[in-house]
Chains A and B, each alone.
Chain A
Amino acid sequence: DQQVKQNSPSLSVQEGRISILNCDYTNSMFDYFLWYKKYPAEGPTFLISISSIKDKNEDGRFTVFLNKSAKHLSLHIVPSQPGDSAVYFCAASAETGANNLFFGTGTRLTVIP
């Protein structure tokens, strides 16, 4: 029962272009969403989050968009850099900062120099 879904297992983007990573969820009780970035042999590191009261949150090259009616969020990275190559996980919780995060299966982003 995968409540958070990332349907694209991989994505390749040219350096300098925009990367768009997508995430869908099924639980309408989710109200806090996070993106984590993971390099091989390391733990996930927090990237950016968004509360359900907002539809956009921006931090430097990273922007997360939330469409509550579609139960969809996306992470935009622009411009993409080779160092962005990693696996990106979408996560959600049913209350802000809740102890139990539900993770997607991840999207492997490759930024081609």
Chain B
Amino acid sequence: NAGVMQNPRHLVRRRGQEARLRCSPMKGHSHVYWYRQLPEEGLKFMVYLQKENIIDESGMPKERFSAEFPKEGPSILRIQQVVRGDSAAYFCASSPRTGDGYTFGSGTRLTVV
């Protein structure tokens, strides 16, 4: 029973490129959450999605960032035109239903050069 799977584990992008981060939730989990950890900071909530719906995106930067969780396939966090300040660890978590504690993946470390 695989846990929350995130890929890639490490991603290097040049400024201006696009970054795509993938998250496959645990089997049976239909709720996905994305968190970002900047250097020397705690994790900060970005977005909460259920299948085909964005439920809460209050933590998402207004520009360049988007997220989706399609009916089939993993959840995708997309960052367009990346800048150095986007360099961080991005963690995905999933839960079987709202209100349950959730399980984190191992994260994707994005480095913008």
- Asked whether A and B interact, the reply is yes
| Contact surface of A with B, Cβ cutoff 8 Å | 2, 4, 6, 34, 36, 41-46, 49, 89, 91, 96-106
| 9 closest cross-chain pairs (CB), A and B | A43-B104, A97-B99, A103-B42, A103-B43, A105-B42, A99-B48, A100-B45, A43-B106, A44-B104
- The reply to whether B106 and A42 form a contact with Cβ atoms under 8 Å apart is yes
* Chain A residues near B100 (CB-CB < 8 A): 97
Which one, B14-22, B51-59, B62-70, B77-85, is touching chain A? B51-59
User: Which residues from B are CB-within-8-Å of A42?
Assistant: 106-107
Closest residue on chain B to residue A104 by CB atoms:
B42
A102:B40 contact, CB within 8 angstroms: no
A98 CA / B48 CA spacing, docked (Å): 11
B101 with A46: CB separation less than 8 A: yes
Docked-complex contact B42 and A99, CB < 8 angstroms: no
Nearest-neighbor residue (CB-CB) of A43 within chain B: B104
Contact A102–B41 (Cβ < 8 Å): no
- Inter-chain contact B91/A100, CB cutoff 8 Å: no
CB-nearest residue of chain B to A6:
B42
Residues of A within 8 A of B25 (CB): none
Tell whether, in the assembled complex, residue B43 and residue A100 are in contact, meaning their CB atoms are under 8 Å apart.
no
Task: Pick the most buried of A43, A98, A102: most chain B CB atoms within 10 A of its CB.
Answer: A43
Bound Cα distance from A15 to B103, whole angstroms = 29
Assess whether B42 is in contact with A4, with CB atoms less than 8 Å apart.
yes
CA distance A103 to B33 in the complex (A): 14
Cα separation A96 to B4 with both chains bound (whole Å):
22
Q: Is B27's beta carbon under 8 Å from chain A?
A: no
Let me know if A99 and B91 touch, CB within 8 A: no
Residues on B with beta carbons closer than 8 Å to the beta carbon of A105: 40-42
Can you name 22 A-B residue pairings with CB atoms under 8 Å?
A6-B42, A42-B107, A43-B93, A43-B104, A43-B106, A44-B91, A44-B104, A46-B101, A49-B101, A89-B42, A89-B43, A97-B98, A97-B99, A98-B99, A99-B56, A100-B58, A102-B45, A103-B35, A103-B42, A104-B42, A105-B40, A105-B42
